[in-house]
Amino acid sequence: MSAFDCHLTFIERQNHTTPPAPNFSPFVLSHRTLLTIPPGTNAQLPLSLQNLVVENVAIEECASPARSATHSSTSSSSSNAANLHSNRPACVFTPPNRTVCYRGFETKRFQAGGRFNLTRRLVLCDWPLKSFDPLVLARLVPRIERLAITGRVLQRLAHDFPPLPYLRMVNITGTRLNHTGVNAFYELERLQVLNLRGNELEQIQPYRFRSGHVEVYLQGNLWNCTNDMIWLLKEQSRQYVDKPTLVCKDWKYTGRPVLTAMEYKRVVRESCLHEEIWNCSCHVSYLRLSDNGLSFHPMIMVNCSDRGFYQLPQYLPGNTTVLHMARNKLQSVDSLTTNEHYQSVQDIYLDENRITSIDILEDTIWLDNFRILSLRGNRMNRIRVYSVEHAIERNPGVGKVYLSNNPWRCGCRFAIRFQRFLRKHESLVADSRNITCYFINDDDGRKQYLPVLTVTPNDICRPSEHNTAAFYNTLSIIFATLIILIFTKLAYDYYHYRKYGKLPWLIMKMP
């Protein structure tokens, strides 16, 4: 039995013996979420937890060229073996009807007729070109029944397959093939098996087939799950035999099952039709594996920028972690403290709205757990610096804060406190160098803007305010000095008592 026969037998046997993919129980994300996966959805553990081996990518004839040559019944088998180790195309015919070619076709030998005209099973090993033109098959091997191609140079098919009335099996594996058209195999009337495993396909649309039923194998490709392949969920014919084993390879979903990623994308797309956010866009930005390794927790991004909102939406899909609300007409951030849909929101972008204050966030759970807070281009003129600083110090996951392009007032006390805050957390406040404050120039009544990081008391404090500030600073220094002296005296008295067993003479004379 040839390797082609073994391969076809393996695929046919696999259809009956492959165990069903394990099902996850419904994901309970929270008591309010809509993002639950139906119990019947097939899903696989990620690649790191399950060894998903791409079966049968290697073609036996291509792995043993010398063996192919010795199987030839012709007297020139020794010369064939020599040709196989050169850089030129070489083909070996094995009765009754198999031909194995290395590094391309020996076109002249096929055109010359003879035994190569009997070819029904064609194996193309180490294909040397970036493209393969199926049209050549109709000219050289019109009665072909089985075709196999392998080689890491091959990237694309130059044309769709032409009508080949006897071709039943196409095996293109172990190549860099990255795209196939929906009609690439449509003209193959008797096609039964299409094996595209182990290539570099990133996305496909449902293939069109003229034959009644075709088994398609796709495992081991570089599936990019940021693309839309939700159609795989709706495909009920079981034509795509190994779809439960397909694994995402893009940076966002790497190691996640394709069907699981597509199911979450479908559910999120439906939840985004809610009346509160119907004109927003929703995406699964990441699928985080649960601690027990049996389920996934989606991280959802909702984009409602430029949608004319006057307040934060009252509904968000469960597990929304990133919310974009830039360039709307928001005046308040109250929902961050009162609406349970915002409990999981970690990154929020509120740039270019009409927000005047975030004081309501003081001592809230949200401020203690946020990751990114962007408030550029709003109408804030001051914040409670101490409350924001305390929240940042309590929050181990804080990432970035953006505060530029707000009309900050250069009040004497506020500006100095704000400056100390920005200098202390300059790496955290990403746009600290662009933050300015303004004061009213006494001479012409115009606003004058100064960088907060470089402003000085002389720039913004009036003489009376400056003198008052200087007085309080001096008083603070005096009190600090007295406290140090008192503690020093107490330490000395304690030392004296421990050494001599009595208090110092001065203490003893005090009434």
**Residue 60 falls inside a structural domain:** no
Tokens of 217: 């194998």
What pLDDT is stored for residue 96 in this prediction? 92
pLDDT value at 72 more than 70: no
- Mean pLDDT, the chain, rounded, equals 82
User: Tokens at residue 422, please?
Assistant: 């920005």
The percentage of the chain sitting over the pLDDT mark of 70, rounded to a whole number, equals 80
Residues 165 and 310 in one domain: no
User: What is the DSSP secondary structure assignment for residue 262, as one 8-state letter?
Assistant: H
Domain end position, chosen among 164, 188, 222:
222
Instruction: State the pLDDT at residue 332.
Output: 93
Instruction: Using the predicted structure, report yes or no on whether residue 260 has a pLDDT greater than 80.
Output: yes
Q: What is the pLDDT of residues 404-433, one digit of tens each?
A: 999 999 988 899 999 999 999 999 999 999
Of 358 and 76, the one with more pLDDT: 358
Whether 98 and 3 have beta carbons less than 8 Å apart is answered as no
Do 476 and 453 sit in the same domain of this protein? no
Does 326 fall in a domain?
yes
Query: Are 391 and 482 in the same domain?
Result: no
What was the pLDDT predicted at 29?
Answer: 30
Q: Which residue range forms the structural domain that includes residue 503?
A: 469-508
For 204-214, what is each residue's pLDDT tens digit? 999 999 988 89
Write out the DSSP string of 1-54. --HHHHHHHHHHHHHHHPPPPPBPPPP---TT------TT-B----TTTS----
Average pLDDT over residues 139-153: 94
Cα separation, 501 vs 505, in Å, equals: 12
- The reply to whether 384 and 474 lie within a common domain is no
Whether the model clears a pTM of 0.85, i.e. scores above it, the answer is no
C-alpha–C-alpha distance, residues 162 and 215, integer Å: 19
d(CA 292, CA 462): 63
Q: What total number of domains does the chain contain? A: 3
Residue 47 lies in a domain: no
Between 303 and 499, the more confident residue is: 303
Residue 287 is assigned to a structural domain of this protein: no
Query: Within this chain, do residues 342 and 217 fall inside the same structural domain, yes or no?
Result: no
pLDDT over 60 at 132, yes or no: yes
Q: What is the pLDDT of residue 113?
A: 75
> Mind listing the pLDDT tens digit for each residue in 88-108?
899 999 999 999 999 998 888
User: Once rounded to an integer, what is the mean pLDDT over residues 347-365?
Assistant: 94
Residues 415 and 496 in one domain: no
- Are 317 and 452 in the same domain? yes
Is residue 477 one of the residues assigned to a domain? yes
Are 479 and 423 found together in one domain? no
494 shares a domain with 437: no
Return the pLDDT at 308. Answer: 95
455-489 pLDDT, tens digit per residue, is: 888 888 866 544 555 666 777 788 888 888 887 87
**Boundary of a domain, candidates 222, 250, 273:** 222
pLDDT in tens, 482-495: 888 887 877 877 77
CATH number, domain at 206?
Answer: 3.80.10.10
